A and B are shown apart, each in its own frame.
Chain A
Amino acid sequence: MTPAAASMPALQAELGPIQDGRATLRIAGGWQIHDQLPALEPIASRLEAASELKSLGFQADGLTAWDSGLVSYLTSLIDRCQQRGIAVDPAGLPEGIRGLLRLAYAVPERQGARRTKKSISFVQQVGEQALALTRSTGEIMAFLGEAVLAFRRLLAGQARFRKADLWLNLQEAGADALPIVSLVTFLVGLILAFIAEAQLAAFGAKIYVADLVGLAMVIQLGAVITAIVLAGRTGAAFAAQLGTMQVNEEIDALRTLGIAPMEFLVLPRLLALILMTPLLAIYANLMGILGGAFVANVAGDITLVEYFIETQKAIGWNDLIQGLISATVYGAIVAVSGCLRGIQCGRSASSVGLATTSAVVTAIVFIVIAAAVLTLIFNALGL
Chain B
Amino acid sequence: MTAPPPHIEVESVTLAYGDFVIQHDLSFRIRRGDVYIIMGGSGCGKSTVMRSLTGLLAPKTGRIFYDGTSFWEMPAHERARTMRRFGVMYQSGALWSSMTLSENVALPLEQYTTLSPAQIRAIATYKLALVGLRGFDDFYPSEISGGMQKRVGVARAMALDPEVLFFDEPSAGLDPLSARLLDELILELRESLGTTMVVVTHELASIFTIADDAVFLDPETKTMLTTGNPRELRDHSDLPKVRAFLNRGAS
- A residues contacting B by CB (< 8 A) are 32-34, 36-37, 39-40, 67-69, 71-73, 75-76, 95-97, 99-100, 103-110, 113-115, 247, 346-351
- Kindly list chain B residues whose C-beta atoms are within 8 Å of the C-beta of A34: 112-113
Query: How far, in angstroms, from A347 to B116 measured CA to CA in the complex?
Result: 30
Output the residue of B118, B122, B158, B188 with the most chain A CB within 10 A.
B122
B141 within 8 A of A: yes
- Which of B30-38, B61-69, B124-132 forms part of the interface with chain A? B124-132
B193 with A346: CB separation less than 8 A = no
Question: Nearest CB to that of A36 among chain B residues?
Answer: B114
The 7 closest A-B pairs by CB, nearest first: A96-B192, A347-B142, A348-B97, A350-B98, A107-B132, A72-B126, A109-B135
- Kindly list chain B residues whose C-beta atoms are within 8 Å of the C-beta of A33: 109, 113, 115, 123, 160-161
A103 with B130: CB separation less than 8 A = yes
- Kindly list chain B residues whose C-beta atoms are within 8 Å of the C-beta of A104: 126, 129-130, 134
Interface residues of B in 109-153 (CB under 8 A from A): 109, 112-116, 118-119, 122-123, 125-127, 129-130, 132-142
Q: List 14 A-B contacts (CB under 8 A).
A: A33-B123, A33-B160, A39-B116, A67-B161, A73-B119, A75-B125, A99-B192, A100-B189, A103-B130, A104-B134, A115-B139, A347-B141, A348-B141, A348-B142
B97 with A349: CB separation less than 8 A = yes
**Given that A37-B119, A75-B122, A110-B135 are known contacts, is A103 also in contact with B98, CB under 8 Å in the complex?**
no
B181 within 8 A of A: yes
A97 with B192: CB separation less than 8 A = yes
- Kindly list chain A residues whose C-beta atoms are within 8 Å of the C-beta of B140: 347-348
B138 with A115: CB separation less than 8 A = yes
B184 within 8 A of A: yes
**Closest chain A CB from B132 CB (angstroms):** 4
- Kindly list chain B residues whose C-beta atoms are within 8 Å of the C-beta of A95: 192
Question: Nearest CB to that of A110 among chain B residues?
Answer: B135
Question: Nearest CB to that of B143 among chain A residues?
Answer: A347
B97 with A107: CB separation less than 8 A = no
B232 within 8 A of A: no
- Kindly list chain A residues whose C-beta atoms are within 8 Å of the C-beta of B126: 68, 71-72, 75-76, 104
B193 with A106: CB separation less than 8 A = no
B21 within 8 A of A: no
B181 with A349: CB separation less than 8 A = no
Question: Nearest CB to that of B158 among chain A residues?
Answer: A68
Question: Nearest CB to that of B109 among chain A residues?
Answer: A33
Interface residues of B in 157-178 (CB under 8 A from A): 158, 160-161
B191 within 8 A of A: yes
**Closest chain B CB from A312 CB (angstroms):** 56
- Kindly list chain B residues whose C-beta atoms are within 8 Å of the C-beta of A39: 116, 118-119
B72 within 8 A of A: no
- Kindly list chain B residues whose C-beta atoms are within 8 Å of the C-beta of A68: 123, 126-127, 158, 161
**Closest chain B CB from A262 CB (angstroms):** 23
**Closest chain A CB from B239 CB (angstroms):** 36
**Given that A33-B161, A347-B142, A351-B98 are known contacts, is A103 also in contact with B118, CB under 8 Å in the complex?**
no
B134 with A107: CB separation less than 8 A = yes
B96 within 8 A of A: yes
B185 within 8 A of A: yes
Question: Nearest CB to that of B194 among chain A residues?
Answer: A96
Output the residue of A32, A105, A106 with the most chain B CB within 10 A.
A106
- Kindly list chain A residues whose C-beta atoms are within 8 Å of the C-beta of B119: 37, 39-40, 69, 72-73
Q: Known A-B contacts: A36-B115, A105-B129. Give 12 more (CB < 8 A).
A: A40-B118, A72-B119, A75-B129, A76-B122, A96-B188, A96-B192, A100-B130, A103-B181, A104-B126, A107-B129, A109-B135, A349-B98
**Closest chain A CB from B19 CB (angstroms):** 28
B192 with A100: CB separation less than 8 A = yes
- Kindly list chain A residues whose C-beta atoms are within 8 Å of the C-beta of B133: 107
A99 with B188: CB separation less than 8 A = yes
- Kindly list chain A residues whose C-beta atoms are within 8 Å of the C-beta of B158: 68
Query: How far, in angstroms, from A36 to B115 measured CA to CA in the complex?
Result: 6
**Closest chain A CB from B158 CB (angstroms):** 8
B142 with A346: CB separation less than 8 A = yes
**Given that A104-B130, A247-B97 are known contacts, is A72 also in contact with B114, CB under 8 Å in the complex?**
no
Query: How far, in angstroms, from A69 to B160 measured CA to CA in the complex?
Result: 9
Which of A67, A76, A100, A350 is B188 in contact with, Cβ under 8 Å? A100
